[in-house]
A and B are shown apart, each in its own frame.
Chain A
Amino acid sequence: MTLFQARNARLALFAAAAMLGLSACGGAGTGNAPSPAGGKQQANAGANAMQDRSYKSDAEKLFVEKCAMCHRDFGMGTVVLARRVEKGQEWLEKRTDLQADFIKTAARAGIGNMPRITRSDVSDAQLDAIAAYLEKAGRK
């Protein structure tokens, strides 16, 4: 089991009104510092599922606001894409093969398990900006 799977195994305890725990076979470190109160410090279930929500540009900010919940760490899209694409390419921001038109079509028409994104949720202008960001992000 990979570290990623091990963390997900714990996170799965939270799945669909479920909670998920860190499996013994993963032994994933949680990054927790020793407790100030002493005593044994254990990994919490699903620890470190908090994704990076940072951004450096307006376009990246839009991506974080509208897409990152599924397409950064521990997002549904990242987890599902990891089963389908070359390793490392499950993160849209690392993809080298994305075309803006494809991104826009996928968002509006839905793809696989991804539901369609309405124009109220993400306007055409916002989607243009996100698509332009993703087209370049992985090729830097």
Chain B
Amino acid sequence: MNSTAIDTAGIARALRAMGSAIGAQYVFTTEEDRIAYSDHYSADETSHQPLGAVAPATVEEVQAIIRIANEHKVPLWTISRGKNFGYGGSAPVVKGSIVLDLSRMKKIEVDAENGTVLVEPGVSFFDLFDFIQEHKLPLWLSVPGNSWGSVAGNALDRGVGYTTYGDHAARICGLEVVLPDGDLVRTGMGAMSGSPNWQLYKPGYGPSWDTMFCQSNFGVVTKLGLWLMPEPESVLGFDIDVDKPEDLGWLIDTLAPLRRQGIIQQSPSIGNWLRAAATLTLRDEWVEPGKPLTESVITAIRKKFNIGWWGVAVRWYGPLEINEATSRVVEKAFAGKPVMAMRPTRWVKGDAPEGSPATGVPVTYPLANANWFGGRGGHVSYSPVLPVNGALALDQYRRTSALYAEYGMDYHPSFAIGERHMTNVNQLLFNRDDPDMMKRVDSFMRALVKDATAKRYAEYRTHIDYMDLIADTFDFNNHALRRLNERVKDALDPNGILSPGKSGIWPANRREKRS
């Protein structure tokens, strides 16, 4: 979309210099490499195809690449592991960029006593899980639906998980960052060399900078501190199903006060029947291709897999006596409510490992939803943020599901309940072998954003195709936030080399490329 004139001769010189700096075998520029770094889920993979990738292994090598990029004015696109499927994978906003791939940086330093870890960007959730198992550490992860990706990258992109540590960005404590001019900073207490408090005290002294590097293009994070949950004595909770779409309203209004009061401390994610079914079965087994999913089909699928129209898992972590009291409080809150099923769940230390994402076990299983249409599938996510309120959720459900029907797509929503907000993540599941469907995806996404914007809801995160579209919805005082972001960008990155276009932030020399 933002294809731009790129100085290919300059890039060739830069790539040679980068090869000298980090080893030519870590500069990837074959056609196969270029395709490998494109957006695997895209209808047109060439639209965001990079010219190649470079993969440094140390912070010094990152600094060397940054200096060379400045010298040759080459745009880089930073990825941690590139598994951000549904948001662009490893592909850059600007076609022809060089991907700065940090997946070879895999150092892990755990402070078991304090429950913290310092990870490099190449560390996946599985890597960290294996490390913790190998060293028998009493610490639990919070994992996202796709745990193949980077721990650091996910936190920086404000990814979420299922435990009380599920707001990953909120658990960041201290960063090491290469700035766009090659300078190296450590944030928080890390700014004092040798501080024992880098991963313990978030603010530091004076302004705090950690969140400035979330969803931004202001630096390359080479180390990220993260708090980990000490293994609790027990995990109790309920799996709750409700039978009708309209049950969403009271379900949210029942959970919201419990969440706000801190009785529930993780973010329960209410998903519809398709969120479960898309990983369990194929659409073609139930309805002819191109035909809509009727209520009778939905009922048949739900019956076969015994799933509610909406389902949610809620969990509490800690000492058993506290958790048992919490279970009673939550049960009381649901007394008299028309639940379809409310199954208590229980794990107590000494039991066999519980083994699910609720206890921090990494999975890739949810990615199977891309196979809903049977062939080569994919999805993009549409994720507006709303106040926690049942009536607003019902209104959102009605408007959004109507748009899904209008565009001939299968409604796949979830509502994750935070302390003061809810995030309504909708998957636009598609079949890449269905050109008609692929043509509808873009206009459908734009219609969804238009609908949310009319309600003054914005997305919390978006695909590389829509970063400008979403940035544009932040319009207070004629886009004052954009002006601020651009002033910071220009001050830190005068040559505009780092991830131009990320989150709709464009450097001065490419600002005309904004879509």
A→B interface (CB under 8 Å): 1, 5, 8-25, 30-33, 35-37, 39-50, 53, 64-65, 68-70, 74-77, 79-80, 83, 108-110, 112-113, 115-121
Contact = CB atoms under 8 A, between A and B. Distances in A.
11 contacts: A5-B280, A16-B427, A18-B414, A19-B271, A24-B343, A44-B359, A50-B361, A75-B365, A79-B279, A113-B367, A120-B101
Interface in B97-125: 101, 103-104, 124
- Which of B311, B359, B363 has the most A CB atoms < 10 Å from its CB? B363
A9 B371 contact: no
A30 to B, nearest CB: 7
B106 to A, nearest CB: 10
Contacts of A16: 145-146, 275, 366-367, 369, 379, 412, 414, 425, 427
B474 interface: no
B239 interface: yes
A22 B280 CA distance: 13
A64 B28 CA distance: 25
B347 interface: yes
A118 B160 CA distance: 25
Contacts, number: 252
B218 interface: no
Nearest to A83: B282
A118 B362 CA distance: 22
Contacts of B348: 35-37
A44 B365 contact: no
Contacts of A108: 32, 36
Given A44-B346, A120-B26, A32 B354 contact: yes
A22 B376 CA distance: 28
Given A113-B367, A113-B371, A11 B356 contact: yes
A25 B348 CA distance: 25
Given A12-B280, A69-B148, A74-B363, A17 B307 contact: no
Interface string B331-359: 00000000001011111101111111111
Given A21-B313, A44-B345, A113-B377, A118 B85 contact: no
A32 B352 contact: yes
A118 B320 contact: no
A30 B345 CA distance: 11
Given A53-B130, A75-B365, A42 B345 contact: yes
A23 B37 CA distance: 39
Contacts of A116: 35-36, 40
B268 to A, nearest CB: 8
A18 B145 contact: yes
Contacts of A10: 239, 356
Contact of A120 (B32, B104, B344): B104
Interface in B9-46: 26, 28, 32-33, 35-37, 40
A16 B83 CA distance: 14
A110 B346 CA distance: 40
* In the complex, the 10 A-B pairs of residues with the closest C-beta atoms, listed nearest first: A46-B356, A19-B313, A12-B276, A50-B355, A120-B55, A21-B239, A15-B366, A18-B271, A76-B367, A115-B40
Contact of B279 (A8, A33, A36, A110): A8
Contact of A39 (B278, B282, B346): B346
A77 B279 CA distance: 12
B449 interface: no
Contacts of B357: 14, 19, 46, 49
Contacts of B165: none
Contacts of B370: 113
Nearest to B304: A1
A45 B322 CA distance: 21
Given A76-B367, A109-B32, 15 more contacts: A16-B369, A17-B144, A17-B145, A18-B269, A19-B313, A32-B347, A41-B346, A46-B357, A49-B363, A53-B130, A70-B148, A115-B40, A116-B35, A120-B26, A120-B103
B371 A119 contact: no
A45 B313 contact: yes
Contacts of B280: 5, 8-9, 12
Nearest to B160: A17
A1 B344 CA distance: 22
Given A37-B320, A40-B346, A118 B33 contact: yes
Contacts of A79: 279, 365, 368, 371
A118 B37 contact: yes
A17 B127 CA distance: 20
A33 B346 contact: no
B53 interface: yes
B414 A115 contact: no
Nearest to A72: B364
B343 A19 contact: no
Interface in B412-441: 412, 414, 416, 425, 427
B77 interface: no
Contacts of A39: 324, 346
A75 B364 contact: yes
A20 B357 CA distance: 10
Nearest to B89: A115
Contacts of B377: 113
A21 B343 CA distance: 9
Given A11-B356, A49-B361, A115-B85, A110 B369 contact: no
Nearest to A123: B25
Interface string B80-103: 011101000110000000000101
A57 B371 CA distance: 33
Nearest to B360: A50
Nearest to B308: A21
Nearest to A74: B365
Select the residue from B268, B271, B276 with max chain A CB neighbours within 10 A: B276
